Structure 1
Amino acid sequence: MPEPLRVRGSVVVPDAELMWRFSRSSGPGGQHVNTSDTQVELRYDLAGSAALPPVWKERALERLAGRLVDGRFVVVKASEHRSQLRNREMAVVRLAALLGEATAPPPKARRRTKPTRGMVERRLENKRHRSELKQGRSRPQY
């Protein structure tokens, strides 16, 4: 069984809140492919979860709004591997990364700063130099 879904820090989503569905995976695989359900679909009820703190849940619902199914479920599919167990592990890793990114605090606002006097002078000097260089390429005026 895959390890528990760790979102960030000490917050862990219990296995009881995860819903698994298995189906036949597309692609090559020989005789084995017609009998095994290796594609994994992992559903997580984000809106009804008790594992996430309310602030994180609100932030995740807002950031993942376009990805939610029925306005509450996050769905992750994995079918790269031939083994159902490996696909389950991949789905858990993807969901953990998705939730970790969605619940992360917003970045600090950038403080606007004034350019230094030397920087302004260098920029203006560079502009003057470019202007002289380009004017020197034109035909001389007699």
Structure 2
Amino acid sequence: MASLEAAPGVFIGEEELKISFARASGPGGQNVNKVETAACLRFDAWNSPSLDERARRRLLTLAGTRATREGEIVIFAQTHRSQELNRKEATERLFALIAEAVKRPKFRVKTRPSLSAKKRRADEKTARGAVKKLRRAPTD
């Protein structure tokens, strides 16, 4: 079986992708009632040998409601009028999810404003309040 590159350095075997077809909803005339063009792609992320543990957990988190309790990701594509285009769209959407999951998130270093920045902010607020006070109607 051939392998497909889902992300840089991540190869998914074609046997890991299970694709079935169903009737699509929406416009398409008589064709929509008799031809199964919508693609339903299933990928067992939990048991995939292609992903490491960190990427697997992140992928299932990113998938959200598209992930089942068993760790399977289900993507349903029905925007096109042909099976081939819907299959291609479903795999592209899965590969985009995998590429996002493989990316390491940037580590955020918490910072605090300096004392001079706090003072500058307080001074700006005081000056702005003074401008607004001048705009008020005079009180007797």
Fold conserved between structures, TM > 0.5: yes
Tell me the TM-score normalised to structure 1 length.
0.81
Hey, what's the Cα distance between the residues in 2 that align with 1:87 and 1:12? 21
Q: Write the distance in 2 (CA, Å) between the matches of 1:19 and 1:105.
A: 27
- Could you tell me how far apart the structure 1 residues matched to 2:79 and 2:13 are? 25
Is structure 2 residue 52 aligned with structure 1 residue 53? yes
The verdict on how the C-alpha distance between 1:84 and 1:133 changes in structure 2, with shifts beyond 3 A counting, is same
Gaps of 5+ in 1: none
Work out whether 1:89 is the aligned partner of 2:88. yes
Deviation at 1:59, TM superposition (A): 3.2
Partner Cα distance (1:79, 1:4) in 2: 25
- Stretch moving more, 38-47 or 59-68: 59-68
Q: Is the 8 A contact 1:60 1:102 kept in 2?
A: yes
Note the 1:1-142 alignment, pairs <5 A: 5-64=4-63, 66-115=65-114, 117=116, 119-140=117-138
Quick one: percent identity of the two aligned structures?
33
Contact 1:64 1:102 in 2 (8 A): no
Which shifted more, 15-24 or 50-59?
Answer: 50-59
Computed over aligned residues only, the root mean square deviation of the Cα atoms, in angstroms, reads 2.4
Query: Which piece of structure 1 moves more, 4-13 or 14-23?
Result: 4-13
Q: Which has the higher helix share?
A: 2
Give the TM-score of the pair, scaled to structure 2: 0.82
Is contact 2:60-2:73 (8 Å) kept? no
CA contact (8 A) 1:5 1:96 kept: no
